[in-house]
Amino acid sequence: MIDKTVASAEAAVADIHDGATVMIGGFGTAGMPDELIDALIAQGARELTIINNNAGNGDTGLAALIKHRRVRRIVCSFPRQSDSQHFDAAYRAGEIELELVPQGNLAARIHAAGSGLGAIFTPTGYGTELAQGKETREIDGRHYVLEYPLHADFALIKADRGDRWGNLVYRKTARNFGPLMAMAARCAIVQVREVVALGELDPEAVVTPGIFVQRVVPVAAAGGQA
């Protein structure tokens, strides 16, 4: 019997190792898997490479992970919002590396990893500092930059509901990067508001099929506006 449910967030993240590459879903605070991140902080893994849309908000979630000095490198598209003080302090102190990726390229590179592509050509970034040192090519009169897929050892994702096979539905914009990251990581760990019985999810509403999910953690606090 396939049952991917895990009793606790702590058990779900127990094998995330020092130096791991971890994708974290969320667009700002919407869809941020706070409970999984809190469990990762308590677990103690360090020197992490994080792939996320931004660099944390306030004092919770990804910001807390940075505050506890667990992140060595971050790949994101928007690191300098007004409440990213923990990233800002760590970056100015030379404690964290940054790879800045335009948001469309970030999504495309994650999708490329999940789709098994070797690389992609994108026009975004051509002629800017972001293209320095990268292969470029003219295709049908337009210039492109070669970008490589973004893979991860683990993905921490928040969904609304799931079943024991790992099929997932999301809540509105809290979906954001979750489906792409589940495809691109070797181990997708998902916190859900509710685990439902097999067959209760409308197959037409399932966004992430269980084949891309390895662990499902019921977390009551995973509901709400985000």
Structure-model confidence comparison of residues 83 and 23, the more confident one: 23
What is the rounded average pLDDT of the residues 51-74?
95
What pLDDT, on a 0 to 100 scale, did the predictor assign at position 220? 79
What pLDDT, on a 0 to 100 scale, did the predictor assign at position 28? 87
**Confidence band of 221 (pLDDT split at 50, 70, 90):** low
Close Cβ partners of 168 (under 8 Å, ≥ 6 residues apart): 159, 160, 161, 162, 178, 179, 182, 190, 192, 206, 207, 208, 210, 213
Q: Which spans in 125-208 are helix H?
A: 178-184
- Token duo for residue 223: 């509901």
**Confidence band of 222 (pLDDT split at 50, 70, 90):** very low
**Can you tell me the distance from the alpha carbon of 44 to that of 10, in angstroms, rounded to the nearest whole number?**
11
**Can you tell me the distance from the alpha carbon of 63 to that of 65, in angstroms, rounded to the nearest whole number?**
5
- Token duo for residue 28: 């700002």
**Can you tell me the distance from the alpha carbon of 8 to that of 36, in angstroms, rounded to the nearest whole number?**
9
H or E element: which one contains 185? strand 185-196
Look-up: residue for tokens 């973004």?
150
The residue type of 136 is: T
**Can you tell me the distance from the alpha carbon of 64 to that of 58, in angstroms, rounded to the nearest whole number?**
8
What pLDDT, on a 0 to 100 scale, did the predictor assign at position 1? 83
Listing DSSP states for 146-177 in one string gives: EE----EEEEEEEEEEEETT--EE--GGG-TT
pLDDT above 50 for 223: no
User: pTM for the complete prediction?
Assistant: 0.94
Q: What are the tens digits of pLDDT across the range 145-191? A: 999 999 999 999 999 999 999 999 999 999 999 999 999 999 999 99
Say if residues 107 and 83 touch (Cβ distance below 8 Å).
no
Phi and psi dihedrals of 16, rounded to 5? -70, 120
Q: Where are the beta strands (DSSP E) in 40-135?
A: 48-51, 71-76, 97-100, 120-122
